[in-house]
């Protein structure tokens, strides 16, 4: 696991518009004009976002007539996603355990409430 953090890379992928752009570019390469038609931002804004993605190596650029065509650099994206996923995955695992523990307690309380040997259990806060 890569323990070092690339701040610029995180910064680039941390923006929702840029993530949406990567999402669109994963379907296939595109130009700033094509992307701006599918996003609620101007072509100029798209171009600025693409420059950020280019700077951190998340996209590769090739000339296409008067425009430039952008495609996702899969290796760099994999690296960024791995970094994102690491923190998210630890929380996913913790939340699954919280769910399991709480549901086990709830079931135990429910069973006790329906067991004639036991007094019905009071809910805290009643």
Partner 1 sequence: MEFGSIEREIFVEASPEIVFEVISTPEHIRDWWNGAETDVRATPGAEADIAWGRGSADEHVEHLTVVRAEPPRLFSFRWVADDTGALLVTFELTPSGAGTSLRMTETGFREKGWEAAVLEATYADHVRGWDLFVPNIADHARRLAASR
Token pair 């941390």 in the structure block, residue: 14
How far is CA 5 from its chain centroid? Answer: 16
State the nearest-atom distance from the C-beta of 7 to partner 1, in Å. Answer: 6
Residue 60 makes contact with partner 1 by CB under 8 A: no
Distances (CA, A) of 39 to 21, 32, 43, 92, 100: 8, 10, 9, 30, 40
Could you say whether residue 117 binds partner 1 (CB under 8 A)? Answer: no
d(CA 42, CA 46): 6
Return the half-sphere exposure (C-beta side, CA atoms, 13 A cut-off) of residue 25. Answer: 29
Binding to partner 1 by residue 95, rule CB under 8 A? yes
Query: Can you tell me which of 39, 47, 61, 84 binds partner 1, judged by CB under 8 A?
Result: 84
97 in contact with partner 1 (CB under 8 A) = yes
Question: Which positions touch partner 1 (CB under 8 A)?
Answer: 1, 3, 5, 7, 10-11, 14, 16, 19-20, 22-23, 26, 74, 77-78, 81-99, 101-103, 105-106, 109, 123-125
């Amino acid at each position: 696991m890569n323990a070092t953090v690339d701040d610029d890379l995180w910064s680039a992928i941390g923006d929702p518009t840029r993530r949406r752009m990567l999402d669109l570019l994963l379907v296939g390469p595109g130009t700033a004009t094509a992307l701006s038609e599918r996003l609620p931002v101007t072509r100029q804004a798209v171009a600025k976002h693409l420059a950020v993605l280019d700077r951190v190596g998340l996209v590769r650029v090739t000339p296409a007539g008067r425009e430039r065509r952008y495609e996702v650099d899969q290796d760099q994206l994999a690296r960024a996603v791995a970094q994102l996923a690491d923190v998210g995955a630890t929380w996913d695992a913790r939340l699954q355990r919280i769910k399991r523990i709480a549901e086990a307690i709830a079931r135990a309380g429910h069973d006790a409430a329906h067991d004639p040997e036991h007094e019905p259990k009071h809910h805290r806060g009643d």
